[in-house]
C-alpha cells in the first residue's frame, strides 16, 4: 500500500543528500516534496499541513543545518513525527478483570468485518483464550452462515439465535459465554452500505447492554479519505476504543492509515493483510513508520518466523546446516517455512535494504519459482534428495519430465543449493565467506 509513498519520500531524501551542505532553502524544497508525496497518498490536508510544519520547525534548527549528516538527521525527524502521527505506541485490547471481555465489531458492509472477527478470534485463541463469536448480523443474506464458516476455520464456537433481535442475541451470547467459561466474546454486528440511524442505534444499544465493552471499528483502508470520514461519524455516535484497518496489502494510497489516528483521536489497534485468518497484525506505529520510510521491519519479521516455524524443528535444521548434513529435503523444508510466513513479496519488504539486494525489488519475486523448486525436489527419489551427487544426465531428464521443468532449471537449483551448503560449511568452520557479493563474517 505504501510503495508509491515510500518511493517518493526516498526520492526527496536523495535530492537532499546530493546537495552536500544543506541550506534552509534546500530543506524547504525537500520538505515540499515530502508534503506533495503525503497529499498524493491521500493523507488528510490538515494532517499534512501540521506534520510538515512540525518537521520544518525542527529541521531548520541550527544543530541540523550544521550537522555532519543533515539528511540523515532530517530522515530521523520525519520518522519521529510519523510515529507521533500514527499513535506513538501499540495500544492493546483492554481485557476485562472479570471475564468475559466483550468485543463489539462495528463497520460498514464490505469492510471485511466478519472475516476480521475470525482473525481476531484466531489471534486470541493463539494467546490461550477461550473465544466465542456471536452472530449479530441478522440482515445481510448468509451473514450468519459466513460467520459459522469463519468460526469453523478459526476453531472457535459461534453462538446464533437465527434472526432474533440483535440486542437480545448479544445479551444471550454473553450470558452463554459466562456460564460455559469463555473469556472473550466477539460480537459481529450488522453493517450497511452507508451509515444509517437504525444501524447506529442498534450498535449503541448493544454497547449499553454491558457495563464495559471494547468497541472496534473495522474500516477498509482502500476507501481512502472516506474511511476517515466513516471513522469520525462512528466515533461521534459510539464509544470507539480502536480501529482495525483492513486490506492494508491492497493497492490504495495509504492515506487512511496515516490520517485515521490524528483525525479521530482513536488508536489503530490492528491491521489486516490478505484473506487468511493469520493475516492480522498488531499495529505498531514505530514499525509502520519504518516501513513507510523503506527501513524494513525486522521485529515483525521475527514474530512471523516465530509463529510459522516450530522452534525445535528450526534448531534441528540449523544444526544440520552447520554440520554439512543439510540435504535437498532440508532445503525444501526451509523454503516451506519461509512460505508459511506469508507471501514472499510482503516478507521481503520487512527486510531492511531488501530493495537493494542484487538490484531486485521485492515485487519482482515470483512465487511460481518457489513452486518450481518444490516440484523439482518432489520429483526426486528420497535417495536423490539425500545425495544430489547421484543426479546424472538421465536422472535429471526424468526429474524434468516429472516436474514440468527443464534440465537447465534443475542445474540452477543444484547450483544454488551447493552454494548455500558451501557457505554454511565455511561459516561453521570459522571462516569468513563471500555470498551474493556480500562478505559474511565468521560464526
Residues in the chain: 443
- Report residue 325's pLDDT band, with 50, 70 and 90 as the boundaries: low
Three-state SS at 297: coil
In what side-by-side order are the strands of the sheet with 184-188? 157-159, 131-135, 184-188, 101-106, 214-220, 240-246, 268-272, 280-282
Q: Are strands 184-188 and 280-282 parallel, antiparallel or unpaired?
A: unpaired
Mean pLDDT within 312-327: 62
Residue 439 has pLDDT above 50, yes or no: no
Structure-model confidence comparison of residues 399 and 12, the more confident one: 399
Mean pLDDT within 33-59: 86
Structure-model confidence comparison of residues 98 and 192, the more confident one: 98
Task: Round to whole Å and give the CA distance between 27 and 178.
Answer: 59
Least confident range from 24-28, 339-343, 438-442: namely 438-442
Nine-digit cell string for 54: 512540525
Task: Round to whole Å and give the CA distance between 173 and 184.
Answer: 11
Span 208-248, pLDDT tens digits: 999 888 999 998 877 777 777 888 888 888 888 999 988 87
Span 28-39, pLDDT tens digits: 888 888 888 888
Q: Enter the DSSP assignment of 212.
A: -
Confidence at residue 364, expressed as pLDDT on a 0 to 100 scale: 46
Confidence at residue 191, expressed as pLDDT on a 0 to 100 scale: 85
CA geometry: angle 177, 218, 168, nearest 5 deg: 35
Structure-model confidence comparison of residues 211 and 6, the more confident one: 211
Cα torsion at 65, 71, 77, 81 (round to 10°)?
130
Mean pLDDT within 427-434: 48
Span 404-430, pLDDT tens digits: 999 999 998 898 888 777 766 665 555
Place of cell 476517515: 228
Residue 67 has pLDDT above 80, yes or no: no
Confidence at residue 128, expressed as pLDDT on a 0 to 100 scale: 93
Element (H, E) at 173: helix 166-180
User: In whole numbers, what is the pLDDT of the chain averaged over residues?
Assistant: 80
Span 143-202, pLDDT tens digits: 999 999 999 999 999 999 988 999 999 999 999 999 999 999 999 998 877 778 888 899
Residue 307 has pLDDT above 70, yes or no: no
Residue 339 has pLDDT above 90, yes or no: no
Q: Give the ranges where 238-388 is alpha helix by DSSP (H).
A: 255-264, 285-292, 298-308, 311-322, 328-340, 344-349, 367-378, 382-386
Element (H, E) at 55: helix 45-59
Nearest to 187 by CA among 277, 100, 62: 100
Nine-digit cell string for 153: 476455520
Residue 95 has pLDDT above 90, yes or no: yes
Q: Are strands 131-135 and 184-188 parallel, antiparallel or unpaired?
A: parallel
Query: Residue 438 forms beta bridges with which residues?
Result: 435
pTM score, whole prediction:
0.67
387-396 contacts at long range (C-beta below 8 A, 24 or more positions apart): 387/327, 388/327, 388/328, 388/414, 388/417, 388/418
Span 349-400, pLDDT tens digits: 555 544 443 333 444 455 677 788 889 999 999 899 888 889 999 999 999 9
Nine-digit cell string for 362: 521485492
Task: Round to whole Å and give the CA distance between 399 and 407.
Answer: 8
- Report residue 251's pLDDT band, with 50, 70 and 90 as the boundaries: low
Least confident range from 9-13, 119-123, 179-183, 428-432: namely 428-432
Confidence at residue 441, expressed as pLDDT on a 0 to 100 scale: 42
Amino acid at each position: 500500500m505504501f510503495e508509491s509513498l515510500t518511493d517518493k519520500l526516498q526520492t526527496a531524501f536523495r535530492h537532499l543528500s546530493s546537495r552536500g551542505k544543506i541550506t534552509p532553502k534546500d530543506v524547504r524544497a525537500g520538505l515540499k516534496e515530502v508534503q506533495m508525496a503525503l497529499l498524493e497518498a491521500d493523507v488528510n490536508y490538515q494532517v499534512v499541513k501540521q506534520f510538515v510544519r512540525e518537521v520544518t520547525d525542527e529541521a531548520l534548527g541550527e544543530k541540523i543545518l550544521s550537522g555532519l549528516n543533515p539528511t540523515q538527521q532530517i530522515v530521523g525527524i520525519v520518522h519521529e513525527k510519523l510515529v507521533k502521527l500514527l499513535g506513538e505506541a501499540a495500544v492493546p485490547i483492554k481485557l476485562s478483570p472479570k471475564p468475559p471481555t466483550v468485543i463489539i465489531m462495528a463497520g460498514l458492509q464490505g469492510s471485511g468485518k466478519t472475516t476480521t472477527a475470525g482473525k481476531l478470534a484466531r489471534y486470541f485463541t493463539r494467546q490461550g483464550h477461550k473465544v466465542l463469536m456471536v452472530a449479530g448480523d441478522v440482515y445481510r443474506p448468509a451473514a450468519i452462515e459466513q460467520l459459522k464458516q469463519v468460526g469453523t476455520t478459526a476453531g472457535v464456537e459461534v453462538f446464533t439465535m437465527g434472526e432474533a433481535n440483535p440486542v437480545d442475541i448479544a445479551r444471550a451470547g454473553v450470558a452463554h459465554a459466562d456460564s460455559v467459561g469463555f473469556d472473550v466474546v466477539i460480537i459481529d454486528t450488522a453493517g450497511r452500505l452507508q451509515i444509517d440511524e437504525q444501524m447506529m442505534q442498534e450498535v449503541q444499544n448493544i454497547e449499553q447492554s454491558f457495563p464495559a465493552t471494547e468497541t472496534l471499528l473495522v474500516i477498509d483502508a482502500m476507501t481512502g479519505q472516506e474511511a476517515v470520514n466513516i471513522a469520525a461519524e462512528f466515533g461521534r455516535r459510539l464509544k470507539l476504543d480502536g480501529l482495525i484497518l483492513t486490506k492494508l496489502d491492497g493497492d490504495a494510497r495509504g492515506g487512511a492509515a496515516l490520517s485515521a489516528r490524528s483525525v479521530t483521536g482513536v488508536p489503530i489497534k490492528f491491521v489486516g493483510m490478505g484473506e487468511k485468518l493469520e493475516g492480522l497484525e498488531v499495529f505498531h506505529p514505530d514499525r509502520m513508520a519504518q516501513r513507510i520510510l523503506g527501513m524494513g521491519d525486522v521485529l515483525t519479521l521475527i514474530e512471523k518466523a516465530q509463529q510459522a516455524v516450530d522452534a525445535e524443528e528450526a534448531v534441528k535444521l540449523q544444526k544440520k546446516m552447520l554440520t554439512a548434513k543439510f540435504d535437498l529435503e532440508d532445503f525444501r523444508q526451509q523454503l516451506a517455512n519461509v512460505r508459511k510466513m506469508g507471501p514472499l513479496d510482503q516478507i521481503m519488504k520487512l527486510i531492511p535494504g531488501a530493495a537493494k539486494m542484487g538490484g531486485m525489488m521485492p515485487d519482482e519475486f515470483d512465487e511460481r519459482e518457489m513452486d518450481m523448486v518444490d516440484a523439482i525436489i518432489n520429483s526426486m527419489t528420497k535417495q536423490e534428495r539425500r545425495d544430489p551427487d547421484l543426479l546424472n544426465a538421465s536422472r535429471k531428464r526424468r526429474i524434468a519430465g516429472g516436474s514440468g521443468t527443464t534440465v537447465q532449471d534443475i542445474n540452477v537449483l543444484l547450483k544454488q543449493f551447493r552454494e548455500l551448503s558451501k557457505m554454511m560449511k565455511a561459516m561453521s568452520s570459522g571462516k569468513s565467506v563471500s555470498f551474493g557479493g556480500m562478505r559474511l563474517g565468521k560464526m
